Amino acid sequence: MSSAEDDLYQQVVLEHKRAPRNFGHLAHPTHQARGTNPSCGDRIAVELELQGEQVRDVAFSGQGCAICMASTSMMTEAIKGRDVAHAQALQQHFRAVLTGEEDPDEAPLGKLVALAGVNRYPNRIKCALLGWHALMHAIAGQDGAATTETPGTGE
């Protein structure tokens, strides 16, 4: 990684840590999940307002290290107003980049690519993925609820 990329990484993390986006609670969350990362002490919760397949709104709360807070903050920006399928695809690419399975230059991460530098710090990868884990748990709850609302599944 060049020093320019390193500077960007530091800037983005510090900026989101200082002013996390979508931090707080939703008035009417339809889905939510908590995430804890005992190895670092990060504890966060993600709230979603899903309408059909769309993430109408998202918020997170809790406390974590700079990388956890920055990653979760950027996650909320990246998925708000987007489809659930888009959020799931982003999670897979983000995870693959951090674990070294995917080249950050080829992954469609958008702004999240600024966090690709975390892959140099194996003990911080869990911090960066925590918010995404909570998001996937929250969405999985939606799948369970959606089944009861789908007419004519023909069980």
Interface residues with Zn ion (CB under 5 A)? 40, 42, 65, 68, 127
Q: Are 132 and 75 in contact (CB under 8 A)?
A: yes
Nearer to Zn ion, 104 or 131 (CB): 131
DSSP type of residue 83: B
Nearer to Zn ion, 55 or 128 (CB): 128
Enumerate residues 6+ apart whose C-beta is below 8 A from 90: 75, 78, 79, 108, 109, 112
Nearer to Zn ion, 127 or 136 (CB): 127
Least distance in angstroms from the C-beta of 38 to Zn ion: 10
Least distance in angstroms from the C-beta of 87 to Zn ion: 21
Q: How far is CA 154 from CA 27, 141, 148, 150, in A?
A: 35, 21, 12, 10
Least distance in angstroms from the C-beta of 93 to Zn ion: 21
Least distance in angstroms from the C-beta of 67 to Zn ion: 6
Would you state the structure tokens that stand for residue 33, as one six-digit string?
């999940």
Nearer to Zn ion, 42 or 57 (CB): 42
